[in-house]
Amino acid sequence: MGPGSPKLHAWSTRPRDRQPMTAIIFAGPTLPPALQPVLECAIEWRPPVRQGDVYRAALTRPSVIGIIDGYFEFVPTVWHKEILWAMAQGIHVFGAASIGALRAAELDTFGMRGIGRIYEAFRDGILEDDDEVAVLHGPEELGYPPLTEAMVTIRATFDEAARAGVLAPEVAAQLTAVAKSLFYKERTYDAVLQRAAASRIPAAPPRDLAAWLPAGRIDQKRIDAEALLTTIRAHLAAAPPCSASATG
């Protein structure tokens, strides 16, 4: 069958013929190298995914592919058909947090498994725009330092500020709308508060918010990425350790 066939996916394919089980995870600014466990021999970390990377990863026959971060705009984005093709080979594909959540929401009916609140929001139609997960960040050699904030994280943070009494719910909603109006490459908390002041949103609550940040910040993308990692670890747990060998 062709790469785009929806009839074969990871939950109903032929038995695997290799041990131990392994995973390849694509991550960058959401779960940077400093936070990626390096002592787990069953997991291989790769940079943010781009078009063709999932296909090439599938050729190495891992048990699992996890997609967190991915490039877009100036780099071709990971293709739906290569994910479908990987699943048709019996590889379990998980997605969360960023481009992984978007692709999982689009392909979960074909077997891709989405993890976390961001995936659920896209799946349920609460969120629709790609810019919700987009961030501007530094290069790989510097650890992908974030230069802007993801809209999904701003939403979660302002919701928490309202729950904590830092902001009135209506002010939190106004600030969320201000953040959404900004281009993703300009989306920072400072920019939001400056735009809010210019828009005459009450001055005192934003000052309270500035004092509450950054300790009160809810990094929803990282929360979901860590949930994906936990899920993949559980999926691999039933397999023999990396030092095991199989004979037949």
CB 70 within 8 A of CB 100: yes
Domain limits of the chain?
Answer: 23-133+221-236, 147-219
Residue listed under structure tokens 């990692």: 229
pLDDT score recorded for residue 5: 42
Rounded to whole angstroms, how far apart are CA atoms 55 and 190?
40
Length of the chain: 248
DSSP 93: E
Nearest alpha-carbon partner for 115 in 88, 97, 127: 97
Q: Give the C-alpha distances (Å, rounded to integers) separating 152 from 126, 129, 159, 186, 193.
A: 11, 10, 11, 15, 17
CB 87 within 8 A of CB 55: no
Burial zone of 74 (CB within 10 Å; 0-12 exposed, 13-18 middle, 19+ buried): exposed
Q: Radius of gyration (Cα) for the chain, nearest Å?
A: 20
User: pLDDT 10s digit of each residue in the chain, 248 long?
Assistant: 444 444 444 444 444 444 578 999 999 999 988 888 766 778 999 999 999 999 999 999 999 999 999 998 888 999 999 999 999 999 999 999 999 999 999 999 999 999 999 999 999 999 999 999 999 998 888 988 899 999 999 999 999 999 999 999 999 999 999 999 999 999 999 999 999 888 887 755 667 788 898 899 999 999 999 999 999 999 988 766 555 444 34
DSSP 70: B
Which pTM value belongs to this model?
0.85
